[in-house]
Structure 1
Amino acid sequence: MKLARRSVAIGALVTVLGIGVLWQGTDGFTAFTAETARREALLRAPRSLPVVVLEDQDGRIFDLQDYQGRLLAVEFIYTRCSAVCSTLGMAFKQIRDHVPQQALGRDFALLSISVDTEADTPGRLKAYADAYGADGKRWRVARVRNTAELKPLLDAFGIVVIPDGLGGFEHNAAIHLLGRDGKLALIRDINEPIPFAEKIMQWL
């Protein structure tokens, strides 16, 4: 009888410890994947983004600080990507079409940033932009001009990019929203463009 009670007590202790480890490792059960944990951490403590020089599909030079005072949707792509980047492009197109047209450019803009700074020349960025209807004003497609500045930018957004061994890259994908203060305010899955757009509309 004592042995049975001891076994039950040990089992209960193991369960409690397991729940504690799971609670700590998943941010209180809110993060069951590394990607969810990344988003939770970024939104709890929004980071100031590094100053990086960007070049868009028309060869124009700008930086993220140019968008201060406006809401800015940001996604990370590369033009040779035929899988997740196509989904990202379509998601941005849906967001653009869902947000009030009078707000585009003035109160809200979209920015696709390439993770392949060397291969994605302005010409390739232009072809990608044309494919999805990015006009270069309300929606820009750009690359980081100085390759050394790319990693700090990716780190600030929690984006991990790994060569796939076939000349391309594997990378986590999401739709990010920068608030008017230039800090991360919202992160959504790429298959949730309409809820993302509706959230933007609440803040316009």
Structure 2
Amino acid sequence: MRSPVKRGVIVTSLVVLLGTGVFWWGTDGFTALTAETARRVEILRSPRPVPNVTLEDQDGNIFKLQDYQGKLLAVDFIFTRCTTLCRSMGMIFKQIRDLIPEKSLGRDFMLISISFDPDHDDPASLKKYGQAYGADGEIWRIARVPDKAELKALLEAFGIIVIPDEFGGFEHNTALHLVGRDGKLRLISDIDKAVPFAEEVVALL
């Protein structure tokens, strides 16, 4: 007959094992420990369609996001008055572009930086931002979504949170996004993962 101490140890062990199993199941094997991680895991498993919004680029050209279908598309979100993260994103996107084989640029792979501040980011502001990083307006466009409802839907699809700050700017999250040839968001990566992101693009090419 087991002693009360032994029975207690056995019961405790079973509770711990059961709790660990539930936690493992509930977090996809410890991979979805945050909402952001869970979102990224879900995108990998089930790529998400993105809305076919209308954009205006740094040259004043009007186009649709769906125009990129058939190509891989790197996407980031910025506002040109930003002096911190968005400046880093410009350098990171330049690095990604430079890591892609030249023969694929424009034909199989393109980049777009989308402003979430259409009230301030007119084509002239977008062009100035693009010129600072070598965005040519063809392979790499800087654009805005003039329609506020379309912009809201686009930010929600990509999981971008934008909060006005006390200085007239914005607090926002940022990431590297890859839209597949089918127009679906298929990969979200940290901004310090430019090289692995480019390697993923090359593998898909």
- TM-score scaled to structure 1, two decimals? 0.91
Structure 2 CA distance for aligned equivalents of residues 84 and 168 of structure 1: 12
Match of 2:169 in 1: 168
Structure 2 CA distance for aligned equivalents of residues 165 and 40 of structure 1: 34
> Which amino acid is the alignment partner of residue 121 of structure 1?
D
Identity of aligned residues (%): 62
Q: Which runs of 5+ in 1 are unaligned?
A: none
Match of 2:112 in 1: 111
Matched, 1:15 2:24: no
| CA 200–165 in structure 1, closer or farther in 2 if over 3 Å, else same | same
> Which amino acid is the alignment partner of residue 20 of structure 2?
I
| CA 167–12 in structure 1, closer or farther in 2 if over 3 Å, else same | farther
RMSD: 1.8
| CA 10–77 in structure 1, closer or farther in 2 if over 3 Å, else same | farther
Q: Deviations over 1:74-106 (max 9, x none)?
A: 111111222221221111000111111221111
Structure 1 CA distance for aligned equivalents of residues 88 and 11 of structure 2: 49
Q: Deviations over 1:25-44 (max 9, x none)?
A: 42221122322111111222
Structure 2 CA distance for aligned equivalents of residues 113 and 148 of structure 1: 15
Q: Which runs of 5+ in 2 are unaligned?
A: none
| CA 21–90 in structure 1, closer or farther in 2 if over 3 Å, else same | farther
Structure 2 CA distance for aligned equivalents of residues 122 and 167 of structure 1: 20
Structure 1 CA distance for aligned equivalents of residues 83 and 19 of structure 2: 41
Quote the offset at 1:180 in angstroms. Answer: 0.9
Q: Deviations over 1:169-194 (max 9, x none)?
A: 22221111111111122222111111
Structure 2 CA distance for aligned equivalents of residues 115 and 31 of structure 1: 28
Q: Deviations over 1:148-184 (max 9, x none)?
A: 1111111111222222333222222111111111112
Q: Is contact 2:80-2:121 (8 Å) kept?
A: yes
Q: Deviations over 1:120-172 (max 9, x none)?
A: 11121111111111110000011111011111111111222222333222222
Q: How many residues align?
A: 204
Per the alignment, in what secondary structure is the counterpart of residue 49 of structure 2?
coil
> Which amino acid is the alignment partner of residue 57 of structure 1?
Q
Q: Is contact 2:43-2:187 (8 Å) kept?
A: no
- Radius of gyration: which is bigger? 2
What pairs with 1:27-176 in structure 2 (closer than 5 Å)?
A: 27-176=28-177
Structure 1 CA distance for aligned equivalents of residues 44 and 175 of structure 2: 13
> Which amino acid is the alignment partner of residue 143 of structure 2?
A
- TM-score scaled to structure 2, two decimals? 0.91
